[in-house]
Amino acid sequence: MTPTMRKNKAEDEGIKGMLRDEFNRCLELMEQVKQSMDSYPRGRLVVKKVKAKERVYEYHHLQWREGEKVLSRHVPEKEIPEMQKKIEQREAYRSNCLKLEKRLEYLAPLIGEKKPSRRSCGLEIKVPSSPEKHVSKNNEQPAGGAPRTRQVKRG
């Protein structure tokens, strides 16, 4: 018997049980991290500059995305250091969440579970769709003008 072969099926089940326990622990920990993340602001601080009568004014905004919309909220100058700390803390939680997600992706196939979705840490990973050509009704050329041609240099 080679060293790489397992001795018996009971040993396999014991290892599988430990992996399942680790998987469940990671799931619970991920839920706690996500709940903690929800108490911190999403987005980033942005400085908007406005010109008025030859002067430039700077305004700080918290900017985040909800679906396709980009939203922003003014942040008073007094609150900027506190807001920056909160954003950094949320980013640390998000980093931990991504690490847990990778661990779950690794453990899931080993114990026969489905892989968790990639949306769990506040990021939606979009699969790029194939670019569709808009074709006119007579299907002769793309809508919006003549098709593009490539010029070939002849020597």
The residues spanned by each domain of the chain are 10-111
Strands laid side by side in the 55-66 sheet: 44-52, 55-66, 69-74
Q: What does the pLDDT read at residue 5?
A: 54
Nearest C-alpha neighbor of 104 from the set 22, 18, 15, 12: 22
79: amino acid identity, one letter: E
pTM for the full model?
A: 0.62
Q: What does the pLDDT read at residue 131?
A: 43
SS3 of residue 56 by DSSP: strand
**Spatial distance between the Cα atoms of 147 and 58, rounded to a whole number of angstroms:** 46
Q: What does the pLDDT read at residue 147?
A: 46
Q: How confident is the prediction along the chain (155 residues), in pLDDT tens digits per residue? A: 455 555 666 667 888 889 999 999 999 999 999 999 989 999 999 998 989 888 998 999 999 999 999 999 999 999 999 999 999 999 999 999 999 999 998 998 888 887 766 666 755 444 334 444 444 444 444 444 444 444 555 54
Using an 8 Å Cβ cutoff, are 61 and 41 in contact? no
